[in-house]
Amino acid sequence: MELTIHAGSHEEAMALFGLGDRNLKALRDAFPVQLTGRGTTIRLAGEKEPVEKVAALLTSLIAQVRGGARLSPGHVAGEIDREVRARSVEQLARAAEAEAADPAPAPPPPGTAGDGTAPAEAPAAPPAEPSVLEHGAALADLRRTCHALARSKGQETYVQAILQNEIVFCIGPAGTGKTYLAVHMGVSFLRQGIIRKIILCRPAVEAGERLGFLPGDFQAKIHPYLRPLYDALNDLLDYDQVKRYLEREIIEVIPLAYMRGRTLNSAFIILDEGQNSTIPQMKMFLTRMGMSSRIVVNGDVTQVDLPEGAPSGLIHARKIIREIKGIAWIEMQKMDIVRHPLVRKIVEAYEGAEQPGR
């Protein structure tokens, strides 16, 4: 398995590498991983488990500085030394377990299989070693900290689905927290070092108004469509953090069309207002997923703004990929609305007016 980690600057890279690359040498000695540092890039190669462990450590250190921590060479060396010591203890413990499970054979007593007077019994198989879940400790921390995030049963199911699945679709009415919770979880994954960047995107679809005549370049015209995503970010991070993340492209806020042709590894990718994507756009979006990435798609199927006759990619996806293992579908209800109390009554009134005979 091969992975590439990119530091955000030469200062970050120097702290990660250590004086004379001693941090990388310490990791090479502790883990059966090939590490090569060049410029602001670290390349890792080896077996899946140790590569992922070393990558998780390095990305966690990078996430600390990007979250506002001071990343000094001494701080990095201390973190790596602790990890190396933990690895040494782990190796010794495994060796002791293996020795206890498979002691040196003793001479067989008379009348047993060893002296040819009785049939041999099959030896008991040693217990299988439990599988190591990718980023298991970080995800366990998130389960503890994100439990209090939900304000309704539907929201709790939504948060748990994001923690347990690589692709999550959430459908529900306005005010159920679909966008806010997705962005909050993305920021939490970034802070834990589980992913390296967040992609927030929306279809640029006019909701009944023609905005093409407005002044400004293309970026100025599409900014209003993306404003709700910026609002969610500003609720979770301070202004300087948002600015820094956007400048370093740790967070990208882009129209859905800008996703074409990309492959996104170690990313938390959110498609907001998914009901306004077309079928080809939805297929294009879902196939951008790279290794160690997660996708969240949310939308309200009662508020489709596509041109008349154009089928919604979200509604279509619900029909054809609902049963794929690893994809979770969450449907919020009116009781999950956590916005102003009047919002639930408004939703109920419109639903009632749309029923036949009303």
Please tell me whether residues 233 and 343 are part of one structural domain.
yes
Please tell me whether residues 30 and 157 are part of one structural domain.
no
Own/partner long-range contacts of 100-105 (Cβ < 8 Å, ≥24 apart): 101/126, 101/127, 102/126
- How many domains is the chain built from? 2
In a domain, 99, yes or no: no
What pLDDT score does 48 carry?
84
Can you list the positions of beta strands (E) in 47-196?
167-171
Low-confidence ranges of the chain (pLDDT < 70): 20, 64-138, 140-141, 144-147, 206-223, 225, 355-358
What pLDDT score does 120 carry?
46
Tokens coding 179: 């966008």
Contact 192, 142 (CB under 8 A): yes
In a domain, 252, yes or no: yes
Contact 305, 205 (CB under 8 A): yes
Please tell me whether residues 181 and 309 are part of one structural domain.
yes
Burial call 67-82: b when 16+ CB within 10 Å, e when fewer: beeebebeebbebbee
- The rounded distance, in Å, linking the Cα atoms of 310 and 325 is 28
3-state secondary structure of 237: coil
Please tell me whether residues 62 and 192 are part of one structural domain.
no
Residues whose CB is less than 8 angstroms from the CB of residue 266 and which lie 6 or more positions away in sequence, other chains included = 59, 195, 196, 197, 290, 291, 292, 293
Nearest Cα to Cα of residue 129 among 93, 87, 89: 93
Q: What is the pLDDT of residues 200-237, one digit of tens each?
A: 999 877 555 555 555 555 566 566 767 888 888 888 88
Nearest Cα to Cα of residue 347 among 303, 297, 298: 303
Please tell me whether residues 162 and 303 are part of one structural domain.
yes
Phi, psi of 302 (to 5 degrees): -90, -5
In a domain, 172, yes or no: yes
| Other beta carbons within 10 Å of 233 | 22
What pLDDT score does 166 carry?
94
Please tell me whether residues 223 and 306 are part of one structural domain.
yes
Sheet holding 41-46, edge to edge: 2-6, 41-46, 33-38
What pLDDT score does 65 carry?
57
Phi, psi of 23 (to 5 degrees): -65, -40
**Cα dist. 262→132, 201, 284 in Å?**
30, 13, 10
What pLDDT score does 215 carry?
58
What pLDDT score does 213 carry?
53
What pLDDT score does 214 carry?
55
- The rounded distance, in Å, linking the Cα atoms of 113 and 176 is 69
What pLDDT score does 4 carry?
84
Please tell me whether residues 54 and 166 are part of one structural domain.
no
In a domain, 108, yes or no: no
- The rounded distance, in Å, linking the Cα atoms of 115 and 65 is 66
What pLDDT score does 317 carry?
96
**Residue with structure tokens 């366990």?**
140
The CATH number that applies at residue 64 is 3.30.1370.10
Q: What angle do CA 79, 84, 86 make, to 5 degrees?
A: 95
DSSP letter for each residue of 63-85: HHHHTT----HHHHHHHHHHHHH
Please tell me whether residues 26 and 170 are part of one structural domain.
no
Last residue of a domain, one of 63, 78, 93: 78
Please tell me whether residues 210 and 288 are part of one structural domain.
yes
In a domain, 97, yes or no: no
- The rounded distance, in Å, linking the Cα atoms of 252 and 200 is 6
In a domain, 194, yes or no: yes
Containing structural domain, residue 7: 2-78
**Residue with structure tokens 């806010």?**
180
In a domain, 183, yes or no: yes
| Other beta carbons within 10 Å of 330 | 23
Contact 272, 225 (CB under 8 A): no
Count H helices, E strands: the chain? 12, 9
The CATH number that applies at residue 196 is 3.40.50.300
Please tell me whether residues 200 and 326 are part of one structural domain.
yes
In a domain, 146, yes or no: yes
What pLDDT score does 268 carry?
96
| Other beta carbons within 10 Å of 335 | 11
Please tell me whether residues 140 and 35 are part of one structural domain.
no
What pLDDT score does 50 carry?
81
Please tell me whether residues 31 and 147 are part of one structural domain.
no
